Structure formats: structure tokens, C-alpha cells
Structure 1
Amino acid sequence: MQLSTVVSRLERAFGPVRELLVPLLSDPRVMGAWVVVVAVSTAVLLWDVRERNEAIPSLMKGVWTLTVLYSGPFGLAVYWYAGRTQIPRDSLARRGFRSTAHCYSGCGAGEVTGVLLAQGLLGLTVGWVAATTFGFAYLFGFSLTVGPLIQEGVGFREAVVDAFYSETPSITVMEVTAIGTDLLLAAEATVDDPLFWGALAFSLSVGYLAAFPVNLALVRVGVKEGMANPAEL
């Protein structure tokens, strides 16, 4: 089946959702309000980290900052539930949220880079936008796992193998969902169109939600550790 046929079928299936979201995400007032909400959420996060959670490792501080920048109050709520040292007790769900946020921070940066380059600057066709964006997201997410492992003393080969089987399922589900959502809503949008940025921001959070069950399952079976318990720091 050709890609164009698949895209056409998806557009028909999600037509009502698209008709609802596109006008909303195209409204400059909505995007302006979203920027303010993200800024406030980020300020709250940074204040809490500085005043009450300085013990959180630098890597996770970066993870939570990017998560909130991508998803605003939703990212802040995830941090509050799973990332603070004040959590009453750790749980499988909290470990799943932290693991997803770790993946999300790297993949989100790659997705933003890929979409800006392939769609915003080069104006590539839908298939090439999807492939380029997925490639950047996978590379960024993969590197965010390999790099820390090597810093901990793990050999390069072992770090790459570990990252491949632990991150590939999560990255794939996250990015197929996020990139698909973005292109479904704004495949023809340009960087000066509010819809370009609105669809990108919306798609990132959709990707996080899609990847959470995958990370939860990986943590449950021991493939992932779910990042360190912040309450023990």
C-alpha cells in the first residue's frame, strides 16, 4: 500500500478531530496563551528545583526542563508526581513516568530539529519529513541513553546494545504517534504559520502519552530501571 493511500485513509478517519483542532491551533491568541502558560510552568519548575530539589542529578534537571518546555502544565504535573524528592513513595507508575520523560526529552529535541529542517526550511514532501524527523528523534533519544552509560564506565559496544533494545520500542511508538499527529494536522504549514508550532507542541504531548504504556511495560519486565528514585537522593 502506498504512503499516500495510508495518509488519505488516516485523514478521513481522523477528519472530525482535525476539523476541531486545526482552527484552535491556528489561532495566534491560543498560541500566545500557550507560550505564557509554558513560561509560567517552566518558572515554577526551576524555582522548585533550585529551592527544594537541588539533589536531583543534572541529567534529570535537564530532562524535566525539556519536558515542561514541550508540554507546559502537563510536563510540570508529571514532574510533581514522579520527579520530586518529596514524593511519598516510589511506584511502578512513577518509574514509568520518569522513564518516559527521559526518552521524551531527547526525542522531543530531535523531533523539533527534524520538523524545522525538513518541513520548515527545506519544504520536503510528507514522506521525507516523516523519515527525517524520525531519524533525528531516534538519534537524539539514543544518544541521551548511550552518553550517560559511557560516563558511568560502560563500554561503547555494550552501551549501544543496551540503548538499542531498551529505547527502540519507546522511541518508535512515541515518534510514529507524534510525527503522524503533527503531519496530520499541519503537513502543509510553514514556520510563519501558528499552526506549524501549535501542531508541533500538541503532537509532542500526544507522543508522550502514547509511549507511557510502553515504558511502563519495559520497567515492569526489567528492561528499563525507570531512573533513580528521587526520594532516596
Structure 2
Amino acid sequence: MTFHTALQDVLTNPALLAAWAVLVVASLTTLAVDIRRNNSGIAPLMKFVWGLTVCYSGPLGLAIYWYSGRPSIPEDTDARRAFRSVAHCYSGCGAGEVIGVVVTAGILALETPFVIAGTFACAYALGYALTVGPLMQEGVGFVEAARDALLTETPSITVMEVTAISVDVWLAGEATMGEPLFWSALLVSLTIGLAVAYPVNYLLVTRGVKEGMQNPKDAAA
């Protein structure tokens, strides 16, 4: 049995999938309770970001929130700002990737090159939208907001999606929407994309290209 086949077997094991579902539900519940009790002052966008991050990556997403997204963090370091930054990118790109894969591979059953192209397009569109939209709400013009999004988000989106889509295509193969592998491979690919994109976001934060989203301490003040 090859590593590829063994990994596919793990990702389709009913007991493991059930255990993962329980962990995700428990993580989402913990997140919701903590935000309501201790972190209700954060921006609605970040509540959305953390919800999707935990939905995609379960306990790992919750750990990232606990480390970088709560007002009780002792110091807002570059590492924490980078985690908030990558979570922001992850939520939008992840939603785009899910939509892209479901539509192109699941519904339309397109060939792999078209699945890749369509998924990339959706990931970029939603990733940029999550930056452009809030900036325009703050009064920034569309052209300036789009330019800012291109500068700050393109490196992270590119690294995240090249990794995630490649892993998903490699793992899921010809799996259809009715097969567990279609969904489990998608979640694994998203989480690997998150991990690979974190160093990129850390570099962008330390170089002053990205700010790392709002300090949760400020939101609670």
C-alpha cells in the first residue's frame, strides 16, 4: 500500500470522520461561547473570520484564535498579528476554494485543469473581497482599496491556494461530492494551505506590508 492510498484510507475512515466532526462542533461551540462572554467587542468581520477558521480546521483553528484573537493575550507580538492576518486570508480564500471545488468538480464535473482554474478564481475573488469590502466601508475608494488588497493579499493567497489546491487534487482525485474523500481531502488541503501561508504572513507583518488585523485588546477597551 502506498502512502497516498494509506492517507486516503485514513480520510475515509468512518470512525475518524465522526470523531473529527465531534471535535469541530466542540471547537465551534467553545469559540461561540468565548466570543459572547469575553470577546464581544471584536469587529463582526473577525467573528466571521474566526468562525470559518475553526469550521475549516477545528481544534487547530480554535488554538490559533486562543493564541492571537482574545483580549487576554499578554502581548500583541508579530507572531500573533501574523496569525490574525493568515486567519483573515484563510477565511475568505477557504470559502472561495470550497465554492470553486463544489461548483467545478462536484456539480459541473469538469476536467482537472478547469477545476484548478475555477477554484483559483473563486479563492482570489473572495480573498480580495474580504479586504476591499471593509476598506470601502471605512470610506476608502474602490481603486485604492483594490490596490491595497493586491499588494497585501496576493502573496498569501497565492501560496495558500497553490498548496491547498494541489493537495486537494492529489488526495481527492476523481472523488465525487457523494464520497467522504471529496470533503475530507478539501478540509485537509485547506489546513495545509493555512500552515504554509503563515510564514508568508509573518514576513509581511514584520516588513510592515500587513498590519495583522485589530488587536483584540483594543476592541475590548
Q: Cα distance, 1:165 vs. partner?
A: 1.2
Unaligned residue ranges in structure 2 (runs of 5+): none
Q: Cα distance, 1:19 vs. partner?
A: 2.9
1: CA distance, partners of 2:141 / 2:125: 19
User: SS at the partner of 1:72?
Assistant: helix
The one-letter amino acid of 2:50's match is W
Tell me which residue corresponds to 1:198. Answer: 184
2: CA distance, partners of 1:154 / 1:17: 49
User: SS at the partner of 2:140?
Assistant: coil
8 A Cα contact 1:56 1:85, kept in partner: no
8 A Cα contact 1:182 1:199, kept in partner: yes
Tell me which residue corresponds to 2:88. Answer: 102
2: CA distance, partners of 1:232 / 1:89: 12
Count of residue correspondences:
219
2: CA distance, partners of 1:226 / 1:131: 29
1: CA distance, partners of 2:2 / 2:159: 23
Unaligned residue ranges in structure 1 (runs of 5+): 1-14
Tell me which residue corresponds to 1:115. Answer: 101
The one-letter amino acid of 2:153's match is E
User: SS at the partner of 1:90?
Assistant: coil
Normalising by the residue count of structure 2, what TM-score does the alignment of the two structures yield?
A: 0.97
Q: Does 1:21 align with 2:7?
A: yes
The one-letter amino acid of 1:147's match is G
Q: Cα distance, 1:16 vs. partner?
A: 4.9
Tell me which residue corresponds to 1:91. Answer: 77
2: CA distance, partners of 1:194 / 1:30: 11
Q: Cα distance, 1:26 vs. partner?
A: 1.5
> What is the Cα-based RMSD across aligned positions, in Å?
1.1
8 A Cα contact 1:115 1:133, kept in partner: yes
4+ residue segments displaced more than 4 Å: none
Q: Of residues 188, 199, 209 in structure 2, which corresponds to 1:213?
A: 199
Q: Cα distance, 1:55 vs. partner?
A: 1.1
2: CA distance, partners of 1:102 / 1:55: 17
User: SS at the partner of 2:113?
Assistant: helix
8 A Cα contact 1:88 1:231, kept in partner: no
Percent identical = 57
User: SS at the partner of 1:54?
Assistant: coil
